[in-house]
Amino acid sequence: MEAGYFRKGFGLRREIAGELNAAYHSRLVEHLKAHDHTLAVGGLTIRLAREFGFCYGVDRAVEYAYETRKKFPDRRLFLVGEIIHNPHVNARLRELGVTIIGYAPEGEFDFSAVRPDDVVLIPAFGVTVRDFARLEGIGCVRVDTTCGSVLNVWKRVERYAKDGFTSVVHGKHYHEETKATVSQAGRFGEGKYLILRDMDEALVLCRWIAQGDNAAEMEALFAGRVSPGFDFARDLERIGVANQTTMLARESLAIAERIGEALARRYGADQLDGHFRSFDTICSATQDRQDAVLALIEESLDAMLVVGGYNSSNTTNLARICANRVTTYHIADAECIRPESGTIRYRPVDVAGEVEAAGWLDGVARLGITAGASTPNNKIGEAIERVLETRGLRIDL
């Protein structure tokens, strides 16, 4: 292993277990898990999704951050952006003396304060090839918490680039993970990429592939979301599909299928292998949480509560799944629930800001709850407690 670079932990799990438990454990959540993910009290039944909250990759990133603080107690410790998209977790790291690196005016992370004897945490989303090289050039200790599922996508993109395929990535172009992923295309010559957000954008791309008669629409839609020097006529002849790991799994698969069909129309089905590649790179934890929430909303729920940061892609996608079937309230954290007034502040799907609803629990007999992969159990437990308080209920554990 390269000197000053760490990816596999420091073997300090036992030493930090108490801190992690105190910071993120919830007795109430453990109670629900032990009772078929169900809590029934005072005419209200709460059903917790079978898969929810912290995933393995997030667990690992948070644990590794705590281990790093223990390993280097006297060093300055920096974090590139957010370790995960949860404000409480990032705030807790600040309390441990971690300085979070923000962006410089020109749009890159500002590493100007980092010195060779400092320690820098790389977040679960990873960092771009350029940012990694900049940190390497400083000579600081780098502790890499990049999720293994993200690394798997990077390998696909690298392979596409090496074989002369353009990576079409289903993701949010402004998301840290997507930025890091598309940067991998540049590891092999002039690897190309295009980022699309959803099926509507994919259909615009497919029209270009099959018919080539919407150049102006392509230029306008994908401006700023393609690699430097991108040529739509030249660089979309051979396509490899990948995705941000937290996108809607079914949409990613459907997008890949449509792109494959468009290429088959253009070049012939018998030539498709030379023009199209696709692999399902949605992480298993994202898939498990989406499957679990789909199963939960089959239970004739009156409402669904989704807990997690508004800038968390996997959380917003859980909310989107739920909102298609049942009244859904996506809250950033428990403080959005106000028992004293019976109101809730939440963000509707595809709306930029929060709205407030009064009497949101009126008539609700069965409430489903889930949480994004970056939401710790204690925040889920606090939300459940506030739900009970709104009804004038409590449970002693």
Active site residues: 177
What is the maximum span of the chain, computed from C-alpha positions, in angstroms?
A: 66
